[in-house]
Amino acid sequence: MKKEPLKKSTLTLTGGSLLLLLVIVVIWASAVGAVPVPFAQSARIVLAKLPFVNKEKLLEGIPNANKLIIWNIRLPRVLLAGLVGGGLAAAGVVMQALFRNPLADPQVLGISSGAAFGAAVAIAFGITFTVSGISSIWMFAFAGAMLTMLLVFRVARIATSRSVTGILLAGIACSSMLTAAITLLMMKKRDRLEHIYLWMLGSFSSASWIKVGFMAIVLVGAVLCFTILGRDLDLLSFGDHEAQSMGVSVKRTRTIAVVATSLLVAASVSVSGIIGFVSLIIPHIMRLLVGPKNRRLIPLSLLGGAIFMILCDLISRTAAPPAEVAVGAITQVTGAPFFLYLLWKERRREERD
């Protein structure tokens, strides 16, 4: 029986519901913490920063301490978590479209390992400085991710003319090499081992408005690229030859998509550390809800990823106060069983075919 196409009203309702849920989650997560802030006050503080609102009237009667807690500490962290989660989920959609495999993940490009190596170098050798609020660890992580992306492309181009398989194999090889380098670095600098390991587990504890702005710019640029390429990514699902016969420039589309994905993953990892499974779980759930078309799947996955990551970060900072549980550990606990389910489902599908 042929599956009926989704109605426009259904898509609008799904997108609107996710957007409303995201707003509620942002306000709620900003209110929860060691010093609880009433939900209504949290909402008023967040809304007061929007343009064209009566700021004085909204903030009337709210203690200054609550304003500082929400605006300077919690809201940057919540927004950064949402931007990273949404970015990783959108990147996951694109990678799965490129590889024509629902189990594909942006980390196979080796970008996460590159960022981890850059951060590990900064931490291990005590390179600590700040430029306009940007820490050396953040800069080294982003530089490591970008250099790894260039290396992967160079190796793939030499080996296989930058095919999907070539990029995948180059990414796996570079990731293995960098992981080994990080291990050697941790053995050499044992006094810094804990700091390197904790960074690699992922955290939003160092969130700032500068990081939020940086991540927002990268995310907007990458998502615009993904949306423009949406139709071409859909056609690539039929295979390279079929897509080319329908007017798709396969090499150009793949290059733009991989570069945009790499930039997005590099920015995400540099501000938060390595956080896995978001790019695997959310696209699959959204695909079940709205189907495989990338132009609608990408923005809805972005919203879903933002909600998921904010909730995971909320758990990480409230599960065992005053200590924090690494947010990467939370996503792994959630994602590992889901990944096993996807493997089982894929195996069942292959057996039926």
- Supply the pLDDT for residue 332: 84
- Supply the pLDDT for residue 261: 87
pLDDT tens digit string along 275-322?
Answer: 888 988 899 888 888 888 888 899 999 999 999 999 999 999 988 777
Q: How confident is the model at residue 169 (pLDDT cuts 50, 70, 90)?
A: confident
Cα within 13 Å of Cα(215), Cβ side: 30
When comparing pLDDT for 6 and 202, which is higher? 202
- Supply the pLDDT for residue 346: 66
- Supply the pLDDT for residue 1: 41
- Supply the pLDDT for residue 107: 75
- Supply the pLDDT for residue 31: 93
DSSP assignment string, 11-39 = HHHHHHHHHHHHHHHHHHHHH-SSS---H
Paired residues of 134 in beta bridges: 131
Averaged pLDDT score across all residues of the chain: 85
> Stretch 238-245: mean pLDDT, rounded?
80
330: Cβ contacts below 8 Å, ≥ 6 apart? 312, 313, 315, 316
Sketch out the chain's domains with CATH numbers: 13-71 (no CATH), 79-352 (1.10.3470.10)
Task: Residue 309: name the closest of 40, 23, 88, 159 by CA.
Answer: 88
φ/ψ (deg, to 5) at 37: -120, 130
Task: State the Cα angle at 218 between 215 and 224, rounded to 5°.
Answer: 135
- Supply the pLDDT for residue 348: 77
Q: Tell me the percentage of the chain whose pLDDT exceeds 70.
A: 93
Strand intervals (E) in the chain: 130-131, 134-135
